[in-house]
Chains A and B, each alone.
Chain A
Amino acid sequence: MNLLNGANGDLWYLWVAFDITFVVLAVEIAITVNAGRKYRRRERLIQPRTRTSTLTERP
């Protein structure tokens, strides 16, 4: 088991890289999930569902 105590080089870069990666992914989750919820909430209030589903675009 490695101790990661900084004895083997500067760990600042390592921690920043890991922190940025997981913070950015967490922010993406928050934005995407929240955008979907907001949209569905807004649409439920103002629009009836009318269009039926087809496989291809209409000409």
Chain B
Amino acid sequence: MISTFAQAGWLRYASPKPFYRLAGRMIPGFAIAAILFVMPGIQIALFVAPTDAVQGDVYRIMFVHVPAAWMSMLLYVVMAAYAGLGLVLNARLSAMMARAIAPTGALFTALALITGALWGRPAWGAWWVWDARLTSELILLFLYLGFISLHGAIDDTRRADRACTVLALAGVVNIPVIYFSVQWWYTLHQGASLSFGSGVSMDTSMLAGILVMTLAFWCYAIAIVLVRVRRIIDEREF
């Protein structure tokens, strides 16, 4: 596997300096893609998707809430994977990528919690309940903030990378808890919007809106993480 990558010349991008140039070339593409996805995403979310029979139009918060929640979990897994790779392979860029992902992951987690509260108030009559899904998502925010704070608190960056890796890997256990919490416990939060087992139980335009907004957030996250990792490479390598 590694030799295949090496033959293709991709392994050199595991080194910060070549990756710095590659990231610089990739940022405009992902930024433009994010804009191109977010425009039809908003169009579908606000004007194309039908009004919900029970909740009215307020359910449209789903089009930012669900993609933000998905991104919060996905980014944590990617961050932990990079951190783990950095520990196992002793690769510098992996630790830098993990550090670059953390603030964006924290932001998406905060957005998922805030938009969830704004949806919960009209739907449940409460901004917040200590339900398994909400509480595990809040723990995810604390894990991100812990990762960022721990890195900032240790002066030696290599020690900071190792300490943060341990925290990131330990926190991975929270991701299946978030995802399956609505199945494992009786919660006020609704079931998964998209389930691999039971398929999709929503209108096609609603599903399209969620997927397009997710793609937009995905491209946005890649672009902003690449901008941030270039600054980290600037700090640590040059």
Which residues in A have some Cβ–Cβ distance to B below 8 Å?
1-2, 4, 6, 8-11, 13-14, 16-18, 20-21, 24-25, 28-29, 32-33, 35-36, 39-40, 43, 47, 49, 51, 53-57
CB distance from A10 to the nearest CB of B (A): 6
- The answer to whether A57 and B90 touch across the interface, beta carbons within 8 angstroms, is yes
Chain B 69-95 interface 0/1 with A at a Cβ cutoff of 8 Å (1 = within): 000000000000000000001111000
Q: Which residues of A contact B51 (CB under 8 A)?
A: 2, 8
Q: Which residues of B contact A17 (CB under 8 A)?
A: 61, 64-65, 114-115, 118-119
Q: Pick the contact of B158: A21, A54, A57 (CB < 8 A).
A: A57
- The answer to whether B227 and A21 touch across the interface, beta carbons within 8 angstroms, is no
Q: Pick the contact of B231: A16, A39, A56 (CB < 8 A).
A: A39
Known A1-B47, A4-B46; judge A21-B122 contact (CB<8 A).
no
B: interface residue count bin: 35 or more
Give the distance in Å from the alpha carbon of A49 to the alpha carbon of B235 in the complex.
Answer: 11
Q: Which residues of A contact B65 (CB under 8 A)?
A: 17
Q: Which residues of B contact A43 (CB under 8 A)?
A: 234, 238
Which chain A residue has the least Cβ–Cβ distance from B231? A36
CB distance from B101 to the nearest CB of A (A): 12
